[in-house]
A and B are shown apart, each in its own frame.
Chain A
């Protein structure tokens, strides 16, 4: 079992998009078929719910309610295709949360998913920047990856976050394992940083790069993960996401585009875990 945190220096770098797509791919790939959980820790600025859009059931229970102690873990997890468990923050929430309380609750949720639901990989979608609610995703993760666009302004914020994590780790003795960078939206700008530059400035490796695609926003408007939309095709950005899964989870994936793969992908409709258990 591995717990991976996807973090970034500022909002809008595509952190949630990356998390959602990695989680979907990991839970869909043969022969691995890893039971995967995506936990969105961006409790007050949640947007994963927006990315899944209209696919969410009307009676969706959000992570905010679980942390507030209103519901048990099985009520908060949504299930897609029997292999992807999703716990989402409530969009537009203004609730205040205690960092320690959130950490304990998320740890309990992860333990429940691992022990009771046999989840093999957990992706924690961290809040942007250096806010207090970031701490649970740093404490609970086996490895942390930072997402940034390879442009100076965004990398500047991401580098500040990277340095802060290192400093927090040094001052507290808590091991925060920053495994490397995911460069997102490569090719969108004319003046981009090179991976080598990013590595030299931070002494952490670039582990994956994901190209820019205009179609990404179409997928978001449709309320489906981009990887789902392009599954079974020869799409270059989908292949970048698959490479990222390989790099982050140490897998070797033999992905072959085919009409069969397009037809066989699971339907994108969520059920609440509670309703599945009741059945």
Chain B
């Protein structure tokens, strides 16, 4: 099974002949590529395996991931969001970038999609029902936006407060049930922590993809059911009340 990724990489190397592959290691800045392939070598648990993302016109278009632990291959949307991006953001993993010329793109895309992977847009159907509506909007507060729309689906968010910060939110009837936040390639936050960090970066561009339902991976679950015990009646000392009354004239 693990040979699946290899022919793709062989193709990539072949078409990239004459260009120097860029090897990147943790801490390096990811180069922006118009067209090309990012090859990820997952070394660190739980991202042991290999993955590739095909980038076309700056956007990830095709993706696949081979999980060495379970010896399974995941493709498209799931591979990109559940494995490859996390693997990229995990310290210790390595990746290479192969830039392609535009004329070589078609060939790679054909090889990739016909033999080994699914188009990201089609792959999303394997996870959730077909998107029914997509809307792009700028918002001053992504939390209010989600709540006001009362929609079910997915929000892809790019903060304008910090261009490094992007987030994916899974929403059910206006309630965020899943969250993942990336700060460049170095940091990732999941679930409740992702929402806390997002509070500082709530302004930006949101793409709302309405769906019939959402699948929430366990790592992204937002849990609001944590109990906090506080006595219903908080006691205040009579001494403090008297002291505060006497200090009242100092206020302001």
Q: For residue B238, which residue of chain A has the nearest CB?
A: A171
Residue A194 interfacial (CB < 8 Å) = yes
For B14, the chain A residues whose CB sits under 8 A away are: none
Q: In whole Å, how far is B189's beta carbon from the nearest beta carbon of chain A? A: 6
Q: In whole Å, how far is A101's beta carbon from the nearest beta carbon of chain B? A: 11
Chain-A contact segment, one of B4-12, B81-89, B223-231: B223-231
Secondary structure of the A side of the interface?
helix
Interface 1/0 per residue, A209-228 and B, CB below 8 Å: 10100000000000000000
Pick the contact of A209 from B143, B197, B229 — CB < 8 Å? B197
For B161, the chain A residues whose CB sits under 8 A away are: 243
Interface 1/0 per residue, A172-207 and B, CB below 8 Å: 111100000001001100011111110001000010
For A132, the chain B residues whose CB sits under 8 A away are: 237, 239-240, 243
Taken together as a complex, chains A and B put the C-alpha atoms of A174 and B234 apart, in Å, by 18
Taken together as a complex, chains A and B put the C-alpha atoms of A186 and B189 apart, in Å, by 10
Residue B72 interfacial (CB < 8 Å) = no
State whether B236 touches A160 (Cβ < 8 A). Answer: no
For A152, the chain B residues whose CB sits under 8 A away are: 226-229
For B196, the chain A residues whose CB sits under 8 A away are: 150, 183, 186-187, 192, 194-195, 206, 209
Chain-B contact segment, one of A30-38, A71-79, A162-170, A269-277: A162-170
Q: In whole Å, how far is B181's beta carbon from the nearest beta carbon of chain A? A: 10
Q: For residue A189, which residue of chain B has the nearest CB?
A: B193
Known: A172-B248, A187-B197. A192 touches B240 (CB 8 A): no
For B200, the chain A residues whose CB sits under 8 A away are: 208-209, 239-240, 243
**A168, A175, A183: most-surrounded residue (chain B CB, <10 A):** A168
State whether B226 touches A100 (Cβ < 8 A). Answer: no
Pick the contact of B243 from A99, A167, A187, A194 — CB < 8 Å? A99
Q: In whole Å, how far is B80's beta carbon from the nearest beta carbon of chain A? A: 23
Taken together as a complex, chains A and B put the C-alpha atoms of A206 and B223 apart, in Å, by 17
Q: For residue A140, which residue of chain B has the nearest CB?
A: B250
For A171, the chain B residues whose CB sits under 8 A away are: 236, 241
Residue B244 interfacial (CB < 8 Å) = yes
Q: In whole Å, how far is A21's beta carbon from the nearest beta carbon of chain B? A: 15
Q: How many A-B residue pairs have CB under 8 A?
A: 122
Known: A187-B189, A195-B195, A236-B183. A160 touches B234 (CB 8 A): yes
Residues 159-191 (chain B) with a chain A CB within 8 angstroms: 161-162, 164, 183, 187, 189, 191
Taken together as a complex, chains A and B put the C-alpha atoms of A156 and B232 apart, in Å, by 11
Taken together as a complex, chains A and B put the C-alpha atoms of A155 and B183 apart, in Å, by 26
For B239, the chain A residues whose CB sits under 8 A away are: 132
State whether A239 touches B162 (Cβ < 8 A). Answer: yes
Pick the contact of A103 from B191, B222, B241, B247 — CB < 8 Å? B247
State whether B244 touches A236 (Cβ < 8 A). Answer: no
State whether B247 touches A192 (Cβ < 8 A). Answer: no
**A140, A172, A194, A236: most-surrounded residue (chain B CB, <10 A):** A194
Pick the contact of A194 from B164, B195, B245, B248 — CB < 8 Å? B195
For A168, the chain B residues whose CB sits under 8 A away are: 236, 240-241, 244
For A239, the chain B residues whose CB sits under 8 A away are: 162, 200
Residue B251 interfacial (CB < 8 Å) = yes
Q: In whole Å, how far is B226's beta carbon from the nearest beta carbon of chain A? A: 6
State whether A139 touches B250 (Cβ < 8 A). Answer: yes
State whether B193 touches A206 (Cβ < 8 A). Answer: no
Pick the contact of B250 from A103, A156, A208 — CB < 8 Å? A103
With A150-B193, A191-B192 given, name 6 new contacts (CB 8 A): A135-B244, A155-B228, A186-B197, A192-B193, A194-B196, A239-B162
Minimum-distance CB pairs A-B, first 9: A186-B196, A163-B234, A187-B193, A243-B200, A172-B244, A192-B192, A209-B196, A194-B192, A139-B247
